[in-house]
Amino acid sequence: IVDSHGLMLALQGDLERAGGAVAFGSPVVGGEGQVLRVGGAEPASLEAGLVVNCAGLAAQAVAASLGAAQIPTRHLAKGSYFSLAGRAPFTRLIYPVPEPGGLGVHLTLDLAGQARFGPDVQWVQRDDDFQVDPRRADAFYAAIRRYWPALPDGALQPAYAGIRPKLGGPGEAAADFMIERRGGLLNLFGIESPGLTAALAIGEYVVASVA
């Protein structure tokens, strides 16, 4: 269990100490070859020796804007979480048998010991809807009680939701991450769960592939 925002700040610090820079609010809006057009408050163009497209939900859109020819279809799986009112009687994470499209409704604990359950799998079209539908709680109670029958009624509260960029859609076999290089552009598609857990390993793989 890690503080994900603390991890990202630490990685940013490592990058900047190594001479790199992070340009927030500067979206890639297009390009040609290895010349990128950047938008935001100060639009500009910049030339790169190598472009690594690791834009998550927007990876396909960025690749298309840079002229990539073969782009895999993006499928969106929304995953909602519900938090537990009160303290959980568990000290470890609990993972049930995975379900099609996801890991199943598992128990996770944050750094303060607060319990949350999720994510479920809801195939969606939009990548900007992060509202948790309280009506999904019924399915959560049923799933959680398979491994915690004593879960009290009314103990779940809507917490938060995320959206995973999948390369396989409903009814299709689960697809692995796709990391491919074409000339000066290296694309990372379908980096979903466990993308954060595997972030450092993915980075090492990318570095080795361009060395």
pLDDT in tens, 161-177: 999 999 999 999 889 99
Q: Let me know: does 33 contact 184? Beta carbons within 8 Å.
A: yes
Q: Let me know: does 71 contact 165? Beta carbons within 8 Å.
A: no
Determine the Cα–Cα distance for residues 60 and 139; give it in Å rounded to an integer: 32
pLDDT in tens, 56-109: 999 999 999 999 889 999 999 999 999 999 888 899 999 988 777 777 899 999
pLDDT for residue 124: 97
**Strand, coil or helix: 103:** coil
Q: Let me know: does 151 contact 144? Beta carbons within 8 Å.
A: yes
Q: Let me know: does 81 contact 140? Beta carbons within 8 Å.
A: no
Amino acid (1-letter code) at residue 204? E
Q: Let me know: does 10 contact 170? Beta carbons within 8 Å.
A: no
pLDDT for residue 102: 74
H helix or E strand, kind and range, residue 117: strand 115-118
pLDDT in tens, 14-49: 999 999 999 999 999 999 878 999 999 999 999 999
pLDDT for residue 84: 97
pTM for the full model? Answer: 0.91
Q: Within 10 A of 80 (CB to CB), how many other CB atoms are there?
A: 25
Determine the Cα–Cα distance for residues 55 and 58; give it in Å rounded to an integer: 5
